[in-house]
Structure 1
């Protein structure tokens, strides 16, 4: 079996080197390049054509989100896993909206990073344990339970939410009232068993209701 080829991007040298060292210990993973900023990460991806890129969010110049967008556009086959201390709901929702297949908190143990790399490389979606506990998604891959019966409009609104639009922007896009949008979102939250937009997006990705956003 071919090892998973990975590019690691983090502007903190010690952190980056620690991640590279940790991944290098796995016989089924090989780090083909490392980068200290977004532009270098994109260049490395273009040159190496890896299977996966591990991205920090806060980097000088081009941040991790913008880097992920460029990688998605230039090399769509490369899978994206964010490794960041910024694991708040907004950052997670933004990452998922960009089509990231994984998100691991920097507070997670090395074993979780390795697990995330392997699962994402295998085609699954992955959230580290703390995020999974918070959002009920990702660590075990796609859900195998029957999906709730979302209406066409609910799926449409959920897709726009995954793109990062706020309720008011969704209302403008669909030419409906914001009250209508909020009513649909309330129904979506109930059906998915979540309480927030970020949780709804995470659950939608886990169940395959939405895919990466172009």
Structure 2
């Protein structure tokens, strides 16, 4: 019996290439493809794939939030994160959300197919270089609220807008921003966002 796959990537070209490569394997069958995080769970519930291959950065829900929703609603579907962004923080958060594997997109096709088989068999598959980086980088130093505030500050939003969006006082937002700047060793909040993003903490 074929291993049934769902592919989720917002880049149609990448999604098509992955689908074509994996479909060459006699024991793998792509049963659904979606282009946003929001479409992942409905497609999983409709097609009941054995393994869902998810990108991290997608419109709507990101791949990590989509992983958590799939694992909660359909535990029989295993999740393999396949991403361009091999950031240690992403790896840690993906595994915490229930992903069974995490590989980068430049993984050779034969290795990717093997990763799918191993995840389907109940094993955990993690890119070795990324696993090492993750151990060295350690956990995010940011509190959940500091993480929320930095996420909201990503586009350069003023303090008042961040406060409104998160239902916090402006003083509280400033305190969280100041703390996050200190913890990331940044000179200002824009730098703090870049640093936290680079580690995959946001």
User: Quick check: TM above 0.5?
Assistant: yes
Structure 1, gaps ≥5 residues long = 137-160, 170-214
- Cα deviation code 1:169-205 (max 9, x no counterpart): 8xxxxxxxxxxxxxxxxxxxxxxxxxxxxxxxxxxxx
What does residue 6 of structure 1 align with? 5
What does residue 71 of structure 1 align with? 70
Please give the secondary structure, in 2, of the residue aligned with 1:54. strand
Structure 2, gaps ≥5 residues long = 145-202
Does the 8 A contact of 1:103 with 1:127 survive in 2?
A: yes
Instruction: Report the alpha carbon displacement of residue 124 of structure 1 after superposing the two structures with TM.
Output: 0.5
What does residue 96 of structure 1 align with? 95
Superposed CA RMSD: 2.2
Distance 1:135 1:33, change over 3 A: same
Does the 8 A contact of 2:89 with 2:140 survive in 1?
A: no
Distance 1:133 1:26, change over 3 A: farther
Please give the secondary structure, in 1, of the residue aligned with 2:98. coil
- Cα deviation code 1:143-189 (max 9, x no counterpart): xxxxxxxxxxxxxxxxxx9xx785988xxxxxxxxxxxxxxxxxxxx
Question: What is the alpha-carbon distance in structure 2 between the residues aligned to residue 98 and residue 43 of structure 1?
Answer: 18
The answer to whether structure 1 residue 106 and structure 2 residue 116 are counterparts is no
- Report the TM-score when normalising by structure 1: 0.61
Question: What is the alpha-carbon distance in structure 1 between the residues aligned to residue 116 and residue 99 of structure 2?
Answer: 12
Question: What is the alpha-carbon distance in structure 2 between the residues aligned to residue 168 and residue 95 of structure 1?
Answer: 18
Question: What is the alpha-carbon distance in structure 2 between the residues aligned to residue 168 and residue 98 of structure 1?
Answer: 17
Please give the secondary structure, in 1, of the residue aligned with 2:80. strand
Please give the secondary structure, in 2, of the residue aligned with 1:16. helix
Rg larger in structure: 2
Instruction: Report the alpha carbon displacement of residue 9 of structure 1 after superposing the two structures with TM.
Output: 0.3
Runs of 4+ deviating beyond 4 Å: 132-136, 164-169
Question: What is the alpha-carbon distance in structure 2 between the residues aligned to residue 165 and residue 135 of structure 1?
Answer: 10
Question: What is the alpha-carbon distance in structure 2 between the residues aligned to residue 61 and residue 51 of structure 1?
Answer: 23
Instruction: Report the alpha carbon displacement of residue 24 of structure 1 after superposing the two structures with TM.
Output: 0.1
Does the 8 A contact of 1:6 with 1:51 survive in 2?
A: yes
Please give the secondary structure, in 2, of the residue aligned with 1:100. coil
Question: What is the alpha-carbon distance in structure 2 between the residues aligned to residue 116 and residue 26 of structure 1?
Answer: 13
What does residue 51 of structure 1 align with? 50
Question: What is the alpha-carbon distance in structure 2 between the residues aligned to residue 168 and residue 48 of structure 1?
Answer: 37
Question: What is the alpha-carbon distance in structure 2 between the residues aligned to residue 110 and residue 33 of structure 1?
Answer: 19
Question: What is the alpha-carbon distance in structure 1 between the residues aligned to residue 142 and residue 10 of structure 2?
Answer: 34
- Report the TM-score when normalising by structure 2: 0.65
Please give the secondary structure, in 2, of the residue aligned with 1:103. strand
Question: What is the alpha-carbon distance in structure 1 between the residues aligned to residue 23 and residue 133 of structure 2?
Answer: 30
Count of aligned residue pairs for this structure pair: 142
